[in-house]
Structures are given as structure tokens and as C-alpha cells.
Amino acid sequence: MIKRHLLSTMLALVLTSAAHAADVKVVNNDAWFAEGPIWYQDKLFYVEYGRGTVTVWDGKKNDIFWKMDGCGPSAVLPTTRGEFLVTC
């Protein structure tokens, strides 16, 4: 009984994952270890750990928003005053 219940749950998860795979949109196919995404003022900000950058996607293109060599950022977060905090 437990095996059948576990198998049913696993099958449901696989089917759910497959259904959502068609909805995936790649916004940067050249990202270097992208992490810590945040939506802020209709833009997607995310760090690229491998490049030492915070990248911003405006819905059409990616631009480097901030860069610090040797930082290895893992997250970006806007403050209530519109400033950004980056973990290094």
C-alpha cells in the first residue's frame, strides 16, 4: 500500500514537472552561475557569481547593473530607499 502511494506521488510530480517545462523562458543563456533573483520595479535583478556582477533583465535584454572583481556575489536585495545590497 505504501509503495503504491509513493509511486503515485512520484508519478504526479513527474507529470507536473513535464507540464511546466514548456513554460520555461531562458532570459540569459550565457549566465555564469546565476543566483539570488529579485523582481524590482518590473525588472529582474540577479547575481552572476562567476562574473562578479549583478545583472538586470528588463524583459528584452540583459545589462550589467553592478560589477566587482573577486566579489563572487550570491544575492542582491533592494532597500526601501531604492539602494541595493549585494552579498560578497
Sequential pLDDT tens for the chain (88 residues): 555 555 666 656 665 555 555 678 889 999 988 998 999 999 999 999 999 999 999 999 999 999 999 999 999 999 999 999 999 8
Cα distance between residue 70 and residue 79, in whole Å: 24
Give the residue numbers spanning the domain of 38.
25-87
Contact 62, 27 (CB under 8 A): yes
pLDDT at residue 78 in the model:
94
The answer as to whether 70 is a domain residue is yes
- Give the pLDDT of residue 9: 64
Residue holding cell 533592494? 78
Predicted model pTM: 0.72
Whether 41 maps to a domain, the answer reads: yes
Is there a domain that residue 72 lies in?
yes
Residue 13 lies in a domain: no
Number of independent structural domains in the chain: 1
**What's the DSSP call for residue 22?**
T
d(Cα 73, Cα 5) in Å, to the nearest integer? 42
Cα distance between residue 44 and residue 51, in whole Å: 17
Residue 29 in any domain: the answer is: yes
Q: Examine residue 17 and state whether it is found in any structural domain, yes or no.
A: no
